[in-house]
Structure 1
Amino acid sequence: MFVQAFLEAQRLFPPGSKTCLEFGVGKGGSYVWQVNQIVKNFKDTTLIGFDSWCGLPDETPGVWCPGRHIRGNFAHPKSIVLDELTKIGVKNDPRFMLVDGFFDKSLTKEVQQSISNLIFVNIDVDIHSSSILALDFIKPLLKENVILYWDDWKDPIDKYDGKWGEHLAWEQWSQKNPEVKTETIVIGGSNERYMRVL
């Protein structure tokens, strides 16, 4: 479904300078895949990835999270991603950027203002606190047809009936920002999904 979402975003926007964002790069699987696509098929696209490389930060106090979402989990060194990029012949290409640090420090106005023509956002941050920060960061950049992909939307393996993580963040953020209208396009078997801004 991730592939479908990325290609849908590219289809919805005409050729020209475009930007994709990835929140939560990890080992770089989806990031490197996008780089490959951009090099081969979408040469006018820029990709910016955001990751602390230190694992997850603390969850919002009072918000439930599964044990695998504890602070520090999913820590992967940035060198893994850089090595994968080198393997595919990508090095020092200005179209591809990685922004280091936890989002409360790395999602700056300076970075935000450097982004033009956003078309696709991959939100793979697992937890509520990071989701809210990512959404606040992209709000001024959102426009009609931007695709938002959610990788960890209340994974059904977690037997918890309450609201938590990415889906709670989206519900709360949407209530505070009712001017941002979206439609959900596809929902996958693990609740991953993507939506289009209206």
Structure 2
Amino acid sequence: MKVGLFFGSFNPIHIGHLVIANHLVEYSDLDQVWFVVTPHNPFKNKNTLLNNYQRLEMVYRATKDYSKLKPSDIEFNLAQPNYTINTLVHLQEKYPQHEFALIMGEDNLKSFHKWKNYELILENHHIYVYPRVSEQKVETQFDNHKKIHLINAPIMELSSTFIRNAIKKGKNVQPMLPQHVWEYLDEMNFYK
């Protein structure tokens, strides 16, 4: 089975994340997409970041009706700060029957050459890149690389930051969130 790994804080997960992940399992050779909830970075401002398990709960609620989309807490028990290469090695050891690929936005590809052991990642894994809103095409050293696949997914101009700020201002964000996630946020009074 080929599994795409979609890393993020998912603070909160929103319909843009689901649209991209679903597009990948329907229009690429990926069999599943796992939403890898990244643990809180001790060096980042924690004020607006819900705890790991609250964010995992939102991902669980967002994906429970989709058989090909799964939540993952795989990074919760890895040493921090963690690097993607460590997660990939850990997953390959734990699930040797799966082939793992990375999912990233076009903007992340620009700085991919700065990632720890990026050459090793490219040697052993495919990367699926979804488009971001931008005035011009981003030229990178990875153009035409055989392991990097540019996916013609819908461009989603929606961010978790925008949603958190809108909630704080008392705006209705219900259409931007999966129904189960909106109900959880509302019930827990998150981001207010």
What TM bracket, shorter-length normalisation? 0.3 to 0.5
> TM-score scaled to structure 2, two decimals?
0.42
> TM-score scaled to structure 1, two decimals?
0.41
